């Protein structure tokens, strides 16, 4: 197994196709695939994004190709009180995931960050890797109200 990190814009199309194959093969349903792939294409060149792909190089006669075993995506983020590495995607078998996490931990430490977080609907999975539940994420969908507010503003502007 070999783990590669890339930020080369030219490799994005090739990697996105391979990651899409992996997502389809492993039946990953944790997120919206088209949105994820669009996000990846747009963000791969940013230095605060880390994408590592675990591959197995295969030879078929004179032809070389590779198979994706898993991948991890992490970003360096900050709020007003701290800086941390946010692990947004991690897929592979247990051995592959552990190796990918080690790469992310090393990257965080190289960048002077020793706090790693993730959001998950399955915290038990992350507890196996030493993560603890630290807080509860609260969410409110206000898109409908926002559309109404925008519509009112446009209506008021026309009346004036």
Q: Would you say residue 26 has pLDDT above 80?
A: no
Report CA 154 to chain centroid distance, whole Å: 37
Q: CA–CA separation, 67 vs 72, rounded Å?
A: 15
Q: What length does the chain have? A: 160
pTM: predicted TM-score of the whole model, two decimal places: 0.72
Q: Which domains does the chain have, with CATH numbers?
A: 2-159 (3.40.630.30)
What percentage of residues in the chain have a pLDDT greater than 70?
76
pLDDT band at 59 (very low <50, low <70, confident <90, very high): confident
The tokens for 25 are: 């093969």
d(Cα 53, Cα 104) in Å, to the nearest integer?
11
């Amino acid at each position: 197994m070999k783990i590669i990190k890339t930020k080369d814009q030219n490799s994005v199309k090739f990697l996105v196709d391979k990651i899409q194959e992996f997502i389809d093969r492993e039946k990953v349903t944790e997120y919206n695939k088209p949105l994820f792939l669009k996000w990846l294409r747009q963000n791969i060149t940013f230095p605060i994004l880390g994408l590592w792909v675990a591959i197995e190089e295969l030879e078929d006669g004179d032809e070389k190709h590779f198979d994706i075993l898993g991948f991890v995506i992490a970003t360096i983020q900050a709020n007003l009180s701290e800086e941390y590495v946010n692990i947004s995607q991690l897929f592979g078998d247990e051995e592959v995931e552990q190796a990918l996490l080690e790469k992310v931990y090393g990257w965080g430490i190289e960048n002077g960050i020793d706090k790693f977080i993730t959001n998950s609907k399955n915290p038990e999975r992350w507890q196996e890797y030493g993560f603890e539940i630290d807080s509860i994420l609260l969410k409110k969908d206000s898109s409908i109200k926002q559309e109404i507010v925008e519509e009112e503003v446009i209506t008021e502007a026309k009346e004036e």
